[in-house]
Amino acid sequence: MRVGELAVVFDLDGTLLDTMTSAPTAYAHTIRARGGPTVAPAEVVAAWHLGPMPAVLAHFLGRPVSAADVDCFHRHFETEAASARPFPGVVGMLDALGRAGYRLGVFTGAVRRAATGVLAATGIRGHFSTVVCGDDISAPKPAPDGLRLACRHLDVDAAETAYVGDDPVDLRCARSAGALDVHARWGGAATAPEGASVVAHRPSDLVDLFVTPGRRRRQT
């Protein structure tokens, strides 16, 4: 474990929020409603690496995505995400990191309308100084663009940042950017990807890792 982190950036779905049922279901309903095939939520998750929501929809619909397609997705997502909640322990972890002086951000592949809506609805938006979304960048994870943009917004170097995510693509993104990769297993990931620098089994593990006597960070 290296020292020097001043910021912690988080993935959203499956890391901060338990949306790993609601979000794929919203995609599946949208794809079917807009004339596409019947797809299982697991098939949607497997396609998330393609980019933000329009890219995933286009993949399954087999055509360019229209404004009506996008609106349909948001209607389904808002319905499905109404029951989304932070994982147990996430709010306390964010409070502890904030009190310790860490700069906190989010980098998610979700589009801004969906991401900011669910962050606000779950009451945790105020913890983050920046939220970078899939439609803010041209290259999706594991490209480092979004994480580096979040670091610029937080006024820190990537080398001073930890990126916390539940998927191997998040860890590859962190390494590509030069940040510390932290695998969040509390969302249900069965095993840690090979080579993960840090494995957190529960949100409190991040507090144990970063908030220790003599290593408190400067206030933002």
Three-state DSSP at 109 gives coil
Helix (H) or strand (E) holding 183: strand 180-184
* Tokens standing for residue 154: 């937080």
- Tokens 């593990």, located at residue: 205
Distance CA 129, CA 77 (A): 24
Give CA–CA dist 164/9, Å, rounded. 6
**CA 209, CA 196: separation in Å to the nearest integer?**
15
Residue 11: active-site member? yes
Catalytic one among 11, 69, 166, 170? Answer: 11
Residue 144 makes CB contacts below 8 A (sequence gap 6+) with: 158, 173, 176, 177, 178
What is the spatial distance between Cα 128 and Cα 14, in angstroms, rounded to a whole number? 17
Residue entry with tokens 């004339």: 35
Distances (CA, A) of 71 to 76, 142, 185: 9, 27, 32
Q: Which helix (H) or strand (E) holds 204?
A: helix 203-210
- Per DSSP bridges, beta strands 7-10 and 161-165 are parallel
Q: How far apart are CA 151 and CA 153, in angstroms?
A: 5
Which residues are tagged catalytic? 11
